[in-house]
Every structure is written in structure tokens, then in C-alpha cells.
Amino acid sequence: MPTTVKLLVNGEWVSSKATETAPVYNPSDGTQIAATPLCGTSDVHRAVQAATDAFPDWANTPAVDRARIMFRLVALMEARFEELAQLVTRENGKTLEDARGEIRRGIEVAEFACGAPALLMGDSLENIARGIDCDTIRQPLGVSVGITPFNFPFMVPMWTLPIALVCGNTYVLKPSERVPLSAIRIGELLTEAGLPPGVFNIVHGGKDAVNALLAHPQVETVSFVGSTPVARYIYETATRNGKRVQSAGGAKNYLIVLPDADLDSTVDAVMGSAYGCAGERCMAGSVLVCAEGAGERFLHPLGESARGFRVGPTDRNAEVDMGPVVTKTHLDRIHQHIENGLQEGADLIVDGRDVMVEETPNGFYLGATIFDQVQPQMSIVREEIFGPVLSTMHTRDLDEAIARCNASGYGNAAVLFTSSGGAARKFRHEVNAGMVGINIGVPAPMAFFPFSGWNNSFFGDLHVQGAEGISFFTRQKVTISRWMDAKRPFF
């Protein structure tokens, strides 16, 4: 019987009071490897109360001491780098190479947070009026909550918790019930790094646990990453309850190819964007727009690359290009999207449903899939599939391609492949997306820049990472002071 994972509450690994659990699978072979308790209000209250009790002392801990714990965490993660990557691969299914990239990106946020003493500095100005000075300081808010998805079980929690902690907040993490193991390992490493009890806590579960966190009066901030409908719900519910919220939703990212783009590097970049992490990421390129006849050059070699993509188990050092998707339920959902595309008249030029993995036939596999002649009104263009499916459309020129992209309603990322500086400048200026790539398949910023989704890809004002992350997890206090002249008596 698979082991039910524990909660981390006030520095102790404890059992949930929940009676229901959700299965955790190894997607490569379909076996159940753990069970996640579906926590209710009482478990959530225990974790939030522990974080509330720990907050005063942690908030008064010098920023340099909070940063030193983060330095120790970075060292521990570097020492356990391969172990962490293998854990992500085991519970999520992505290739070891993709998992290593995820671990590296998570570590980079912790490295950024190590600069807390400088990042938290305020401003000051002497003599804003004669004899009057003004300064600002940043102070933490209190209990912060992170609600994270299945597709990046290590990186997405690390997007926010290092910054929240070094800013002086305490933290409650609610990871996806499908992938709790990486979150548990983060908790173990934070404890080993010397984080005091109660400063970081973990609860598990589904909608009941989420709703309890959103409504809890002692929670000050909520950070969420997931689908757009849920992101909107999180934002509306949490803000209605007086929380500060950053809520990242889904995406439909457009990759626009002009005829003058370099053939080989563009095909490689499109393959990596569309099929890295099995397409289960909000930065995946899911719509390919061939402008000005570019399809005549690019579509055939792209199809050949997709047909040659090796799909198989990722948990046994196999030489594969792409692993399984996370669950059988999600695989069935992607299959339904493919069927919808066929019924709507799209041309399925590479069918990943035919993939066979003989050594692990019960894994959740789908090969690289490409539709052509897709029209803007089709569901496979309008809806986020979150799998290894690329939809291709054709436009007369770059203007029409940008218009198609801007009409999507999402705004996470948009990419242009070209050798024209003028086209690149026009695209950068006109495209309605928060993260733009020029000859870069996945324009995901590093930790010192914001992860800057727009439109229906983000709900809130301050994004994760970078200076916006510091602003989100602190509030400014302004002091205006005047002192009497030291030569004058006070009485």
C-alpha cells in the first residue's frame, strides 16, 4: 500500500486528519508511488496558526541572518542536485534534462533571495523641507500562501518561497496533490538549512484546502500558478477576503516564423518550445504561425523532427526526447482535444496517438503531434491543451500574424523567428504579451527579472520573481522626521 505523505507543521512531520487521499503516480509506468491526503479546514488551520505564531520572531530576525539560511539552502540544493532532478522526473514524468533545468531555475531564485540585505533597502532624502527628513523602509506582511501546480513541482514553489522568507514572512505551501514529493523535499532541506519551526509549513489537498487558505483571516498574501479559470477564481476569492494576490493562469503562446529565419535553429527551437516538458508548461509554444509563405520551408523538416522524436520512460536513464504526461486522466483530456481538432477540420499531419512504448505499456504516453491548416475559431487554438500538441496556421504577412496572436486573449509569451531587425522591433513593440522572444523558443526570464504574464495569463499587479517579488512580499513605511536644533533648549 503506497505511503500517505505527511504535513509539515511547526517543524514537525505530522499526519493529516483527512480520511480521503489522492493517488500519486509514476507517469512512466503508471504505478502508484504515494497517496496525498485531501486536507480540510482543521489541517489548514494548524499550518496557518504555526506560521502566525512564528511570524513575530522571524520578522525581527535580521535580514542578513535570513539571507544566510538561504545561502545554506542553495548549498544543500547544489549538493542534492541530481537527487532532486530524479525526484521531479519520478513524480512528474519529464525527462531528466528538463528536470535538471527546473532545479537550476529554482536554485536561481534562492540565489537572488540571498541578496536580501541589499534588496530590502529603503530610500531616504534629507531636507525635503528645511530641517525635515524622509525615509522609507520595507516590512513583511505576515503569513504567505503558495498554491502550486503539477507541471513544475520544484521550480514553482521556489518562485515565491525564498523571496517571501527573506522578506520576513512565514509561509504555507499547498502543492498539487498529484506531485507532493518535491515539495516535501524542499521542506526537509529548509529544515536542514536551519529555518526555525513554523516559518515554513506544508499542507496538502484539493479545493477544500485551497478554499480554507483563501478564506483564512490570518493569511496575508496568496501566490498561485495554474489554469486561467482557477487563477481567476483564486484572484477574485482571495482579494474579496482582503488578501494581496499574484495569480498566474494558462496560456496560448504563439511562435511566428518568417521566411528569412534560420532553418535549423528555428526547427530546434520550435521543437523544444512545443514538446519540452511534454508541452505541460505555460510557456510552451502551442500555435505556430507561418507568415509570408514560411511554411514551405519549415513545415516539412519540423514534421520529420516530430516523427523522429523518441518517447519513453524517463525514470530509468533511457535515451528519450520526451516522457509521459502526468496522469491517465490528463492524457485522456489531450486525446479529446485532438479529436475535437479533427472534427473541426484541422489537418493532423503528425499523430502522436500512435506512439507505443513496449517496455512500459501502462505509462501515460503521447507522441509529438502537429495540426496544420488550423483556423482561429477552432477550439485547439482557443483553448489551452497543456500537452505535446502544436497547431499550425498560415498568414499573409507579419501584421496578420501579430493580429492573430493579439486576439488570443492570453498574454504569457510570444516569439518571432527572423533575421530582420526591423521585423523584430515591430513585433516587440506591437505584440500583446508580457514575455517576448526573438529567436528564443521559450522566453522565460531569469530570477532577477519578473515572470511577466499579461491579460488572461495573469491576475494581479505584482508578478513573481525579481524586484516585483520583493514588492509583493513587503509593504513600505514612510517616516517624516524633524528634530529641534541641538543648541536650543527643549524647555
One digit per residue, pLDDT tens: the chain, 491 residues? 789 999 999 999 999 999 999 999 999 999 999 999 999 999 999 999 999 999 999 999 999 999 999 999 999 999 999 999 999 999 999 999 999 999 999 999 999 999 999 999 999 999 999 999 999 999 999 999 999 999 999 999 999 999 999 999 999 999 999 999 999 999 999 999 999 999 999 999 999 999 999 999 999 999 999 999 999 999 999 999 999 999 999 999 999 999 999 999 999 999 999 999 999 999 999 999 999 999 999 999 999 999 999 999 999 877 899 999 999 999 999 999 999 999 999 999 999 998 999 999 999 999 999 999 999 999 999 999 999 999 999 999 999 999 999 999 999 999 999 999 999 999 999 999 999 999 999 999 999 999 999 999 999 999 999 999 999 999 999 999 999 876 665 55
Hey, which residues are catalytic here?
A: 282
Instruction: Mark 260-277 as b/e (b = at least 16 C-beta within 10 Å).
Output: ebeeeebbebbbbbbbbb
Q: Which three cell numbers stand for residue 233?
A: 477564481
Pairing of strands 285-291, 435-438: unpaired
Look at the block and give the residue holding cell 505541460. Answer: 280
Q: Give the three cell numbers for residue 486.
A: 541641538
Kind of pairing, strands 244-248 and 253-257? unpaired
The Cα-based distances of 431 to 254, 285, 292, 406, 454 in angstroms read 10, 15, 18, 6, 11
What is the rounded CA–CA span in Å between residue 211 and residue 216? Answer: 8
* Residue with grid cell 535553429, as numbered in its chain: 265
Query: Cα–Cα distance between 199 and 166 in angstroms, integer?
Result: 11
pTM for the model: 0.96
Burial class of residue 56 (count of CB atoms within 10 Å of its CB; 0-12, 13-18, 19+): exposed
Q: Which helix (H) or strand (E) holds 417?
A: strand 413-417
Burial environment of residue 414 by CB neighbours within 10 A (0 to 12, 13 to 18, 19 or more)? buried
Spell 332-362 as b/e; 16+ CB within 10 A means b.
Answer: eebeebbeebeeeebebbbbbeebebeebee
Could you give the domains of the chain? 7-249+461-478 (3.40.605.10), 253-438 (3.40.309.10)
Of residues 170, 158, 103, 144, the one with CA closest to residue 246:
144
Neighbours of 33 (CB within 10 A): 16
| Neighbour tally for 138: CB within 10 Å | 18
Q: Which residues contact 436 (CB under 8 A, 6 or more apart)?
A: 413, 414, 415, 416, 427, 428, 443
pLDDT, residue 22, reads 98
Number of residues that this document lists for the chain: 491
Q: Which contiguous run of DSSP H or E holds residue 364?
A: none
81-92 and 96-113 are packed helices; what angle lies between their axes, rounded to 10 degrees? 120
C-alpha cell read off for 173 = 505551501
pLDDT at 489: 57
Residues 6+ apart with CB under 8 A from 132: 480, 481, 482
According to the model, what pLDDT value does residue 487 have?
66
CB atoms closer than 10 angstroms to residue 364: 25
Q: Are the beta carbons of 214 and 222 closer than 8 angstroms?
A: yes
CA angle 93, 97, 100 (to 5 degrees): 90
User: For residue 145, what is the enclosing H or E element?
Assistant: strand 143-147
Could you list the beta-strand ranges (E) of 28-142: 31-37, 124-129, 132-140
- The pLDDT, as a whole number, for residue 488 is 61
3-state DSSP percent of the chain in helix, strand and coil, to 5: 40, 20, 35
| Number of Cα atoms under 13 Å in the Cβ half of residue 166 | 31
